[in-house]
Amino acid sequence: MEVSPVDTRLRGILRPRVAWILPVLYLLVGGALIGAVGTAPVDRGAADQLPDGYDSTQVVRLLEDFPSGDGQVAVVLFSADEAIDAAGRASLGQVFERAAGDTAVAALQPAQDGTALVGIVSMESTDAAVLADDVEALRKALRTGLPDGVRAQVTGPAAIQGDLAQVFDGADVTLLAVTASVVALLLIITYRSPFLWLVPLSVVGIADRLAAVAATHGLTALGVAFDQSTTGILSVLVFGAGTDYALLLISRYRDELHGTASRPEAMVRAWRRTAEAVAASATTVVVALLALLLSAFPTTRGLGLACAIGVVVAALAVLVVLPLALVAFPRGIFWPRRPVVGQAPASEGRSVWRRVGDVVARRPLGAAAAAVVLLALLAGGILGIRSGLSEADQFIDTPESIAAAARLAESFPAGSTDPAVVLTRGDVAAVVAAAESAPGVDTVRPAGEHDGLTRLDVVLDHAPGTPQAREDVRSLRAALADLPATLVGGTDAQDVDSDAATRDDRALVLPLILVVVLLALGLLLRSVVAPVVLVLTVVATYLAALGAGWVLSSSVFGFDRLDVGVPLQAFLFLVALGVDYNIFLVARAAEEAERYGAREGMLRALGSTGGVITSAGVLLAAVFAVLGVLPLVVLAQLGIVICVGVLLDTLVVRTVLVPAIALRLGDRFWWPRRPGL
């Protein structure tokens, strides 16, 4: 048998005496780089989370030119159980003046029922982390010298943004610790070895931190926006994908150790037979993630680019560093399941997955029908989805800004904490009259003028962040539609525009991701039928996961609505990552089919990859479930849907549906290839 120059070079690099050098340098240099450079700080502008080209985004940018318009406002609320007398109001006025100083926009206004007073404070910054500190300082100042029985709270857009940033304070460390712990536990269970798990965990753990450094600094240098959730999702993805790739390589390496006493030779064989599948999988995921660059949302574009960088780093670490690290250790690292030369590997025995395959092979049509019915039943949950989280429902634990907004709504018009903003260059009187005539509008008041632009604050009838408030915005826009040079913005208008942009993103990005995955599978498998089947099964998995995830979110976890961004992000991760397992299975089936034919090739592939793919799927599902440690509903919902989807893909689609279809189609599954000939 002719030995290729690449194999010869690999054997030289993988000699145990020198194999340890690169992994040690990787750990030392990588650790030093992570410690010295660290991740870049989040530097997000006010419009970075808003879709490009929409009215509410234009309003945010125009307001930056207004005096004090580059910041946001905080609403100060003093409240009591009973009416506050004149002396109390005077005392609270002094407290407010001392705490707010020059940043006070207006004096305290009492409620009609006398139990509350409200004031407006302008904040200088739009940076979420700075807002969190400024709002906390304001809260402490307001609580100094309060009369007995009076509570001081801060709400409004600035306070909500500050509380949102506070949610992420220290969250990256918590998420990393929990993710690493989950991965370590599952690796120990998978390998049943007290030593082996440390090798992939160390390699992937360093890759995770290197990816965070590279992604955040890269995005900052390119001027691409990202937010606090980007690094959390990036970490989960790198750990999940990187560990999946590691499991595949280690499983093949252990099998090859049964056939040769040479560790370098075993690794060359394992690497040659897994590198193509890992590279194809990583390339598919990266290109699918880059499809997010077409999103209307700057931070979504940042998420796609950051995660693409992360997958590249993870794949390189597994394909370059991990093989050397494994070869540097004797085969005793697999203890107590040390591979013995001449002993048949577990993958060639009658594994439970081979037995499952034999059952499917007896009645492939019935097995496929049963799997399809199960997925269809789960997908039925989509019919009950209610989308659009209210502002108050974003947090798992209710922060002060949300509690204060609820209390303020008891004594003031519900929309007074965060009015809609109208900017106009037209006839102000006509704009005011039209706005006041719109259903859902409580009051309209002038709020400043700059460079020919007049600002009007419009208090709506309903609480900010609710579906009713968004309907009020639509009515306001309809009333102003015929007036020239007039824009409607504010938080609820941003929600309306974000909903519309998300729908547009789904219509553009989802088909593009499917085309990318289809082309990648076609190039890998050199087939037409197999890629189409695999893409259809992945879409079915996504629909089932979305339906089942919604049922779990609403019935078990009590989330009233689904965030509008979850379907797109869940689709991206489930299609891009879910196809991994199909690539691992079908690539092995294609290899085996060349020797044993289509039917036996699929059954042998299922038997040999079943254990490692199931382990990888359970691990990836657990890793995405870790997103639930962050106290934001949107991330918890995303974790639930992806967790369910990965488990379905691993246990139903890859185990039953794909083998059943492949067995039913036989050689036609590989058309135009002719395996085994």
Query: CATH code at 16?
Result: 1.20.1640.10
Mean pLDDT of 410-420: 82
Which 3 state secondary structure label does DSSP give 356?
Answer: helix
Residue 69 has pLDDT above 70, yes or no: no
Residue 144 has pLDDT above 60, yes or no: yes
- In the block, residue with structure tokens 């120059």: 5
Cβ atoms within 10 A of the Cβ of 311, count? 27
The Cα–Cα gap between 88 and 505 comes to 52
* Per-residue confidence (pLDDT) for residue 348, from 0 to 100: 56
- In the block, residue with structure tokens 């660290």: 38
Residue 261 has pLDDT above 90, yes or no: no
Q: Are residues 156 and 118 in the same domain?
A: yes
Q: Per-residue pLDDT tens for 90-126? A: 999 899 888 888 777 777 889 888 999 998 888 877 6
Name the percent of the chain lying above pLDDT 90: 27
* Per-residue confidence (pLDDT) for residue 1, from 0 to 100: 44
Asked whether residue 43 is domain-assigned, the answer is no
Alpha helices for 552-666 (secondary structure H): 566-596, 598-625, 633-648, 658-665
The Cα–Cα gap between 326 and 345 comes to 18
Q: Per-residue pLDDT tens for 164-173? A: 878 777 666 7
- In the block, residue with structure tokens 């797109």: 568
pLDDT band at 42 (very low <50, low <70, confident <90, very high): low
* Per-residue confidence (pLDDT) for residue 341, from 0 to 100: 79
The Cα–Cα gap between 385 and 645 comes to 17
The Cα–Cα gap between 457 and 415 comes to 11
pLDDT band at 675 (very low <50, low <70, confident <90, very high): low
* Per-residue confidence (pLDDT) for residue 71, from 0 to 100: 59
* Per-residue confidence (pLDDT) for residue 374, from 0 to 100: 96
The Cα–Cα gap between 218 and 39 comes to 10
Alpha helices for 51-170 (secondary structure H): 55-63, 86-100, 128-142, 157-167
Residues 6+ positions from 602 with CB-CB distance below 8 Å = 357, 589, 592, 593, 659, 662, 663
Mean pLDDT of 340-348: 66
Q: Are residues 454 and 554 in the same domain?
A: no
Q: How far apart are the first and last CA of the chain?
A: 20
The Cα–Cα gap between 413 and 462 comes to 8
What are 394's two structure tokens?
């974003």
Considering only 61-70, 172-181, 226-235, 590-599, which range has the smallest mean pLDDT? 61-70
Cβ atoms within 10 A of the Cβ of 148, count? 6
What value does the mean pLDDT of the chain take? 85
Asked whether residue 54 is domain-assigned, the answer is no
Q: Are residues 261 and 313 in the same domain?
A: yes
Asked whether residue 48 is domain-assigned, the answer is no
Residue-by-residue DSSP string for 386-404: -B---GGGSBSS--HHHHH
Tally helices (H) and strands (E) across the chain: 24, 8
- Integer-rounded Cα Rg, in Å, for the chain is 29
- In the block, residue with structure tokens 């993958």: 347
297 touches 505 (CB < 8 A): yes
Q: Which of 287, 317, 348 is the last residue of a domain?
A: 348
Asked whether residue 116 is domain-assigned, the answer is yes
- How many structural domains compose the chain? 4
The Cα–Cα gap between 305 and 297 comes to 13
Which 3 state secondary structure label does DSSP give 421?
Answer: strand
Please report, as a single letter, which amino acid is at residue 655.
T
Q: Are residues 380 and 489 in the same domain?
A: no
Q: Are residues 560 and 674 in the same domain?
A: yes
* Per-residue confidence (pLDDT) for residue 34, from 0 to 100: 75
223 or 341, which is more confident: 223
Q: Please choose, from the candidates 77, 89, 88, the residue with its C-alpha nearest in 3D space to the C-alpha of residue 138.
A: 77
Residues 6+ positions from 191 with CB-CB distance below 8 Å = 197, 250, 334, 337
Q: Which of 496, 512, 534 is the last residue of a domain?
A: 496
Mean pLDDT of 475-498: 91
Q: How far is CA 544 from the centre of its chain?
A: 19
Residue-by-residue DSSP string for 278-335: HHHHHHHHHHHHHGGGG-S-HHHHHHHHHHHHHHHHHHHIIIIIHHHHHHHS-GGGGT
- In the block, residue with structure tokens 């609270």: 92
Question: The domain that contains 450 carries what CATH number?
Answer: 3.30.70
Q: Please choose, from the candidates 379, 421, 371, 436, the residue with its C-alpha nearest in 3D space to the C-alpha of residue 551.
A: 379
Asked whether residue 512 is domain-assigned, the answer is no
* Per-residue confidence (pLDDT) for residue 394, from 0 to 100: 81
Q: Are residues 448 and 483 in the same domain?
A: yes
The Cα–Cα gap between 428 and 561 comes to 38
Mean pLDDT of 377-402: 86
CA dihedral in degrees (104, 109, 111, 117; nearest 10)? 40
Environment class of residue 362 by beta-carbon count within 10 Å: exposed (0-12), middle (13-18) or buried (19+)?
exposed
Q: Which of 166, 194, 220 is the last residue of a domain?
A: 166
* Per-residue confidence (pLDDT) for residue 337, from 0 to 100: 80
Predicted model pTM: 0.84
Q: Please choose, from the candidates 481, 483, 421, 565, the residue with its C-alpha nearest in 3D space to the C-alpha of residue 56.
A: 421
What are 228's two structure tokens?
């606090």
Residue 349 has pLDDT above 60, yes or no: no
Task: Give the domain range for residue 189.
Answer: 1-37+169-348
What are 573's two structure tokens?
């991760």
Q: Are residues 336 and 199 in the same domain?
A: yes
* Per-residue confidence (pLDDT) for residue 635, from 0 to 100: 86
Which 3 state secondary structure label does DSSP give 170?
Answer: coil
Environment class of residue 155 by beta-carbon count within 10 Å: exposed (0-12), middle (13-18) or buried (19+)?
buried
Maximum Cα–Cα distance for the chain, whole Å?
98
Q: Are residues 326 and 205 in the same domain?
A: yes
16 or 510, which is more confident: 510
The Cα–Cα gap between 11 and 14 comes to 5
Asked whether residue 374 is domain-assigned, the answer is yes
123 touches 157 (CB < 8 A): no
Name the percent of the chain lying above pLDDT 70: 93
Residues 6+ positions from 640 with CB-CB distance below 8 Å = 549, 552, 553, 557, 625, 628
- In the block, residue with structure tokens 């890269």: 218
Mean pLDDT of 509-520: 88
Q: Are residues 626 and 675 in the same domain?
A: yes
Asked whether residue 530 is domain-assigned, the answer is yes
β-strands 441-450, 151-155 pairing: unpaired
664 touches 365 (CB < 8 A): yes
Please report, as a single letter, which amino acid is at residue 365.
L
The Cα–Cα gap between 304 and 288 comes to 9
Considering only 42-46, 269-273, 332-336, 551-555, which range has the smallest mean pLDDT? 42-46
Asked whether residue 46 is domain-assigned, the answer is no
Q: Are residues 567 and 668 in the same domain?
A: yes
* Per-residue confidence (pLDDT) for residue 539, from 0 to 100: 92
b/e map 408-431, b = 16+ CB within 10 Å: bbebbbbbbbbbbbbbbeeeeeeb
**Phi-psi domain of 107 (left: phi exceeds 0; alpha: psi -120 through 50; beta: other):** beta
Residue 318 has pLDDT above 60, yes or no: yes
The Cα–Cα gap between 252 and 233 comes to 29
Give the full edge-to-edge strand order of the sheet including 116-122.
104-110, 116-122, 73-79, 151-155
Q: Are residues 214 and 85 in the same domain?
A: no
Give the full edge-to-edge strand order of the sheet including 441-450.
441-450, 453-460, 420-424, 486-489
Question: The domain that contains 75 carries what CATH number?
Answer: 3.30.70.60
Q: Are residues 162 and 232 in the same domain?
A: no
Q: Per-residue pLDDT tens for 222-252? A: 888 888 778 888 888 898 889 889 988 998 8
